[in-house]
């Protein structure tokens, strides 16, 4: 396990993922009934962007750094409000030295009746995550394989929930694994909201991945993709994707407003593009 999210925290992929995560949690809060957020690959929860690791790549400068460098247009601001509140809550004096990972964003938005389950397999990152939630009785932090948890922890006892699956994509075959594990989890918990992250880069098997998701026959599956630069000169990340199962019915319309803004603000060259398309469902 070589991946450490501190090198990437707050980058353009985090911005899209965390903005959508916050909207999904906001939506679950429209009903009083409690729900659970299950974050299978949680990371450490809080990232110090002034640390040597984050400064080394400077990825956040082209992510949350750019997002906050100018005013956000009035029609977009409400769609980013909950996400940005979570960022501000860690930086009460302004700026963005501390960046919240998915666990802290979800936790910031929970009500007293809601719960959070976090899994992290890296031993040191697990310890840091655990310390970051010390004494929080609404959150359970487990040193466990997130793939196992994705299956074993659904359905949650609340019978309402959001499952975030954000693996590091260090190994071959992760796209297939993501689709396979989604199929298994969804059969156990078809009413859950699922949010799965995947990378866009040169050679990524995106058409095959979308076809595998389509073959699962899950009625409402949305793909959200933001490309920020051309694949021509890099083997690194050129874009970011999310699969959302059972999205709130308002989400597609919101993305049609949010994505063009993110493309403009975070795009790095003329290849920048964004789309939200139904793999199966309302399209």
* Residues making contact with ligand SAM (CB under 6 A): 1, 3, 5, 17, 39, 41-43, 101-102, 119-122, 125, 145-147, 166, 168
> Nearer Cβ to ligand SAM, position 196 or 274?
196
> Nearer Cβ to ligand SAM, position 42 or 204?
42
> Nearer Cβ to ligand SAM, position 68 or 118?
118
Shortest distance (Å) from residue 122 CB to ligand SAM: 3
> Nearer Cβ to ligand SAM, position 115 or 230?
115
Return d(Cα 84, Cα 53) in angstroms, integer: 23
Shortest distance (Å) from residue 197 CB to ligand SAM: 7
- Sequence-separated contacts (24+) of 121-125 with Cβ below 8 Å: 121/1, 121/41, 121/145, 121/146, 122/1, 122/3, 122/4, 125/4, 125/5, 125/43, 125/44
Return d(Cα 64, Cα 4) in angstroms, integer: 18
What is the C-alpha R_g of the chain? 17
* Among 93, 145, 166, 269, the one annotated catalytic: 166
What would the two tokens of residue 279 be? 């793999």
* Residue with smallest beta-carbon separation from ligand SAM: 101
Shortest distance (Å) from residue 254 CB to ligand SAM: 20
Return d(Cα 30, Cα 127) in angstroms, integer: 33
* Kind and range of the H or E run holding 223: strand 221-227
> Nearer Cβ to ligand SAM, position 201 or 214?
201
Q: How far is CA 36 from the centre of its chain?
A: 16
Shortest distance (Å) from residue 66 CB to ligand SAM: 18
User: Is-catalytic flag, 93?
Assistant: no
Shortest distance (Å) from residue 85 CB to ligand SAM: 16
- DSSP-H helix ranges across 93-205: 102-109, 123-132, 146-152, 174-188
Helix, strand, coil % (nearest 5) of the chain?
A: 40, 20, 40
The residues annotated as belonging to the active site are 166
């Amino acid at each position: 396990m070589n991946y450490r999210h501190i090198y990437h925290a707050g980058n353009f992929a985090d911005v899209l993922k965390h903005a959508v995560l916050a909207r999904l949690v906001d939506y679950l809060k429209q009903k009083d009934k409690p729900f659970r957020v299950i974050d299978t690959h949680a990371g450490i929860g809080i990232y110090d962007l002034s640390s040597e690791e984050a400064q080394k790549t400077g990825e956040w400068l082209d992510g949350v750094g750019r997002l906050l460098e100018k005013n956000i247009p009035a029609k977009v601001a409400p769609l980013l409000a909950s996400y940005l509140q979570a960022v501000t809550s860690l930086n009460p004096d302004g700026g963005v030295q501390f960046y919240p990972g998915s666990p802290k964003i979800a936790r910031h938005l929970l009500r007293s009746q809601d719960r959070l389950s976090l899994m992290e397999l890296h031993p040191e990152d697990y310890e840091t995550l655990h310390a970051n939630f010390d004494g929080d009785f609404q959150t359970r932090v487990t040193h466990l394989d997130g793939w196992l948890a994705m299956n074993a922890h659904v359905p949650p006892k609340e019978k309402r929930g959001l499952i975030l699956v954000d693996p590091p994509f260090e190994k071959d075959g992760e796209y297939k694994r993501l689709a396979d594990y989604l199929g298994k989890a969804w059969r156990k918990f078809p009413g859950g909201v699922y949010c799965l992250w995947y990378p866009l880069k040169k050679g990524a098997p995106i058409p095959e991945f979308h076809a595998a998701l389509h073959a699962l026959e899950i009625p409402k599956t949305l793909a959200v993709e933001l490309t920020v630069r051309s694949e021509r000169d890099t083997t690194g990340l050129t874009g970011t994707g999310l699969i959302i199962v059972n999205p709130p019915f308002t989400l597609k319309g919101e993305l049609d407003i949010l994505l063009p803004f993110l493309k403009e603000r975070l795009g790095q060259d003329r290849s920048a593009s964004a789309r939200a398309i139904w793999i199966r469902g309302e399209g």
